[in-house]
């Protein structure tokens, strides 16, 4: 069985400050982990993915995430938020079932 | 490349009506998926097609049927719509049915069942 918990349903940051979106996962198999972003009324776009290579994964638009097996975490970070980062972010796990399990999402608001 | 396209973008149905949501991809992917997105619940898998000619149930298949028409197209049918099927529906595709594969999503179909 696999599951994903996104620890914050809403996060607000000021433009230019760091972003941290938290994700914990559970999987009985060595998982693949993904972060997707969804802008209003749009489909989901892949930000980055972890597939058992380097534990620090760099994605698009300056985002990165670190896979920590001991903490079963895959938190998403960005050093400096931009107004265009305002969106909903989904942490996703994929394991032996070869199906994606989505977290419930974190809504990121960027304040001017 | 258009990627994954979905039609219609928005639909209103009355309870008991039927409709088919269409999805097509031009990336030559083998696997395709249908999800529904409800507020506060992330996306849940309805059905998937690991390869052309095969379909399987996902997490929430009740009330839906699918057809993998060819390698490009994967449709979702609601035979008798219910208000509980009000949702946003996303189609996705991936190169293969493997847990490391990236899934590419369409723009979604917003369905309201009255």
Kindly report the CATH number assigned to the domain that includes residue A66. 2.60.40.10
Mutate to test the interface with B, among A1, A28, A34, A43 (most CBs of B within 10 A): A43
Question: B51-75 pLDDT, tens per residue?
Answer: 999 999 999 999 999 999 999 999 9
| Residue B92 Cα distances to A40, A58, A78, A93, B60, angstroms | 18, 23, 27, 16, 16
Is the CB of A89 inside 8 Å of chain B's CB atoms?
no
Q: How many helices (H) and strands (E) does chain B have?
A: 0, 11
Give the strand order in the sheet containing B64-68: B4-7, B19-25, B74-78, B64-68
For residue A42, the chain B residues in CB contact (below 8 A) are 107-108
- Contact call for residues B47 and B55 (beta carbons, < 8 A): yes
Q: How many domains does chain A have?
A: 1
Which parts of chain B register pLDDT below 50?
none
Average pLDDT over residues A83-97: 90
At residue A94, does pLDDT exceed 90? no
Task: Specify whether the CB–CB gap between A56 and A75 falls below 8 A.
Answer: no
How does residue A1 score in pLDDT terms, banded at 50, 70 and 90?
confident
3-class DSSP assignment, residue A67? strand
State which residue of chain A sits closest to B40, comparing Cα positions. Answer: A104
Residue A92's DSSP bridge partners are: A34, A102
CA–CA distance from B99 to each of A48, B27, B50 (Å)? 15, 18, 12
CA distances from A12 to A73, A91, B62 (A): 21, 18, 37
Asked whether the beta carbons of residue B99 and residue A46 sit closer than 8 angstroms, the reply is no
Domain encompassing residue A62: 2-111
Instruction: Provide the pLDDT for residue A76.
Output: 98
For residue A52, what pLDDT band results from cuts at 50, 70 and 90? Answer: confident
Binned at pLDDT 50, 70 and 90, residue A102 comes out as very high
Confidence check: pLDDT of A95 > 90: no
Q: How many beta-carbon pairs below 8 A join chains A and B?
A: 54
Bridge partners for A47 per DSSP: none
- The predicted pLDDT at position B2 comes to 79
pLDDT digits (tens, 9 = 90+) for A11-20: 999 999 999 9
Average pLDDT of chain A, as a whole number: 92
Residues 6+ apart with CB under 8 A from B92: A44, B4, B32, B33, B34, B35, B103, B104, B105, B106
Please tell me the predicted confidence (pLDDT) of residue A43.
87
pLDDT at position A51 is 84
Q: Do B103 and A104 touch (CB under 8 A)?
A: no
Q: Give the tens place of pLDDT for each residue, A57-88.
A: 999 999 999 999 899 999 999 999 999 999 99
Q: Is 90 exceeded by the pLDDT of residue A2?
A: no
Tell me if chain A has a CB within 8 Å of the CB of B60: no
């Amino acid at each position: 069985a696999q599951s994903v918990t996104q620890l914050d349903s809403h996060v607000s940051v000021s433009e230019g400050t760091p972003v941290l979106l938290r994700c914990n996962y559970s999987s009985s198999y060595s998982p693949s982990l993904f972060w997707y972003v969804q802008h209003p009324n749009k489909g989901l776009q892949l930000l980055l993915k972890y597939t058992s290579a380097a534990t620090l994964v760099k994605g698009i638009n300056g985002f990165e995430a670190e896979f920590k097996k001991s903490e079963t975490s895959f938190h998403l970070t960005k050093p400096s938020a931009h107004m265009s980062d305002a969106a909903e972010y989904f942490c996703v796990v994929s394991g032996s079932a070869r199906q994606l399990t989505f977290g419930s999402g974190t809504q990121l608001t960027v304040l001017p | 490349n258009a990627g994954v396209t979905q039609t219609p973008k928005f639909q209103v149905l009355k309870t008991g009506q039927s409709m088919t949501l269409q999805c097509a991809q031009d990336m030559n992917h083998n696997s395709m998926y249908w999800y529904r997105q409800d507020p506060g619940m992330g996306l849940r898998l309805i059905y998937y097609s690991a390869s052309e000619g095969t379909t399987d149930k996902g997490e929430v298949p009740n009330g839906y049927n699918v057809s993998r028409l060819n390698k490009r197209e994967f449709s979702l049918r609601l035979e008798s719509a219910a208000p509980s099927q009000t949702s946003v529906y996303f189609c996705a595709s991936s190169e293969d049915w493997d847990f490391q594969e990236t899934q590419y999503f369409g723009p979604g179909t917003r369905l309201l069942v009255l």
